[in-house]
Amino acid sequence: MQLQESGYETISAQKNLTEITTMRSTHKTALRARNEANTDQTRKTIHGATLGHAQAIRAAKKIVPEREMEGNLLDQGEGVLTRSGMMNADLTSLGINCSNTRVLVDTGHAQIAATLLQVKSGNVPGARAAIAQLNGIIKSLRNTYREILVREDLPQTTAQGVLSVAQSLDVLSVRLGAFCS
């Protein structure tokens, strides 16, 4: 009960607990009747169900409410876009034109704000559509950074930074895509 109240999925654990409870009464009946075969069988069944119950509790996954999941994704998006903005500043200081990446970062921040409005208003389909649009922006930004890596002769540390940002954008894109599907 405490697991469920704490937001964990408890269906498997509850199934095992029901089996244990049922078998306990069967076991008591077998004990009273002094039926050793049934007593041994119910003891083994209870033992197996107890092990299954313990395993189900260990494997219980926290159920993340949809709004919380959206919030986590949007926080990650803000973080990656902030890193992208810092990367743009580094690249600009090297004389590299980052006008396209700047526009994409600004558009990404605006899309996150629009998504938050959809989430706060409780418009789940609108929030999902906004997240899908954000994913398109994230993919475009990732591709633009990859193009910069191919096109420009960057110092090694800068190239590693651009690659790191592109990889972070790629991970975020996968998470956004999984959320929208």
Which CATH number covers residue 131?
1.20.120.230
Give the per-residue SS3 of 79-141. HHHHHHHHHHHHHHHCCCCCHHHHHHHHHHHHHHHHHHHHHHCCCHHHHHHHHHHHHHHHHHH
Residue where one domain finishes, among candidates 59, 90, 105: 59
Is 170 found in the same domain as 84? yes
102 and 139, same domain (yes or no):
yes
**Same domain as 98, residue 37:** no
Q: Domain range for residue 101?
A: 66-180
DSSP string over 6-67: TTB--HHHHHHHHHHHHHHHHHHHHHHTT-HHHHHHHHHHHHHHHHHHHHHHHHPPBPPPHH
Same domain, 101 and 140: yes
Its pTM stands at 0.63
Same domain as 123, residue 84: yes
| Domain identity same for 84 and 155 | yes
Looking at the structure of the chain, the number of domains it has is: 2
User: Tens place of pLDDT for every residue, the chain, 181 residues?
Assistant: 455 554 555 666 667 667 777 777 777 777 788 878 877 887 787 777 777 767 766 665 544 445 555 678 899 999 999 999 999 999 999 999 999 999 999 999 999 999 988 888 888 788 889 999 999 999 999 999 999 999 999 999 999 999 999 999 999 999 898 877 6
Both 161 and 97 in one domain: the answer is yes
